[in-house]
Amino acid sequence: MMKYSALVLVLLLVGCSKPDPYDVIRGLRRGYELSIDLTVNKEGEATYELRGRNLTGKEELSEVTTLVCILDKDDKILWSKLVELEVTGVGSFATAKQQFKDQVGVMDYDSYYVMLAPDKADDDFMSYREFMRVAP
């Protein structure tokens, strides 16, 4: 009987523990649907609009760190940059939009994309503002 009581107590303690705050942020970040429109003019200036649609139903993040990449015809990355998309106050199923300009150089690009900036343990995710707000 004592073994079962101890087992139940251990299971309750494990089940009631707080979730890792970094995993909570990761889950919220993954709740944004990202898209981008990008052009590079003949002077080598990239103009792009990032959009992040909030599919989480929560407004807990102030920004989402993204990775914007421009590729050549062989899918080789010609240019990339970490960009923070402000999402403060963006409600459920609403879309945050933000425009950016960067000097990327004259290039013959074929495609481009935006994705969440990597947030695995071996990445530099602790420098992203949304993770910097987590109290360890």
Q: Give the tens place of pLDDT for each residue, 2-12.
A: 555 555 555 55
Please state the length of the chain. 136
Examine residue 63 and state whether it is found in any structural domain, yes or no: yes
Residue 24 falls inside a structural domain: yes
Task: Assess if residue 128 is contained within a domain.
Answer: yes
The percentage of residues in the chain with a pLDDT greater than 90, rounded to a whole number, is: 74
Q: What's the CATH number where 73 sits?
A: 2.60.40
- Look at residue 12 and tell me if it is in a domain: no
Show the domain range for 53. Answer: 19-132
State how many domains the chain has. Answer: 1
Q: Check pLDDT > 90 for residue 19.
A: no
pLDDT bracket for residue 35 (50, 70, 90): very high
Overall average pLDDT of the 6-24 stretch: 70
Give me the pLDDT at residue 7, please.
Answer: 55
Tokens of 31: 């709740």
The reply to whether 11 falls in a domain is: no
Asked whether residue 109 is domain-assigned, the answer is yes
> Considering the domain boundaries, does residue 10 fall inside one?
no
Query: What's the whole-model pTM score?
Result: 0.84
Nearest to 72 by CA among 110, 116, 105, 43: 110
